[in-house]
């Protein structure tokens, strides 16, 4: 089964990192992804630009609106994701607990459903 691991952290924390700390965290994330690939759990993963680059799109009564920024103000912002393969939620959570930014932020783990499957 596929699971999406959403990586959240406070962008101010990331922005305030020294170059050495940034390089260390980046290296840990690359190594984590390589480890997932070796075990067959990795499907995809990417970091995201800071939330100030986001646009939220809504369509209501056929009218499209686009606003700068995320849908909601939060202390932690969506920073990236890993799409993984795991036999069950327990294993997905175990894998997510090793995502390096979990040490400074949080990881939301959600099963991916088939488009035709009712939630």
Residues 42-97: pLDDT tens digits? 999 999 998 888 888 889 999 999 988 766 667 788 999 999 999 999 999 999 99
Structural domain harbouring 88:
2-111
Residue 108 pLDDT:
95
Pick from 77, 26, 22, 81: which is nearest to 52 by CA? 77
Q: What's the domain count of the chain?
A: 1
Residue 57 maps to a domain:
yes
Handedness of CA 96, 101, 38, 3 (dihedral sign): positive
CATH number at residue 67: 3.30.70.1060
Residue 38 maps to a domain:
yes
Say how far apart CA 70 and CA 108 lie, in whole Å.
17
Residues 16-41: pLDDT tens digits? 999 999 999 999 999 999 999 999 99
């Amino acid at each position: 089964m596929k699971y999406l691991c959403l990586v959240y952290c406070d962008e101010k924390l990331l922005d305030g990192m020294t170059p050495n700390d940034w390089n260390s965290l980046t290296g840990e994330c690359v190594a984590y992804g390589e480890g997932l690939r070796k075990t067959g759990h990795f499907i995809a993963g990417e970091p995201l630009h800071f939330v100030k680059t986001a646009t939220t799109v809504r369509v209501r009564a056929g009218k499209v609106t686009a606003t700068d920024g995320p849908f909601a103000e939060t202390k932690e912002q969506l920073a990236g994701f890993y799409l993984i393969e795991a036999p069950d939620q327990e294993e997905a959570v175990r894998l997510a607990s090793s995502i390096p930014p979990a040490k400074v932020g949080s990881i939301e783990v959600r099963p991916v459903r088939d488009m035709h499957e009712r939630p």
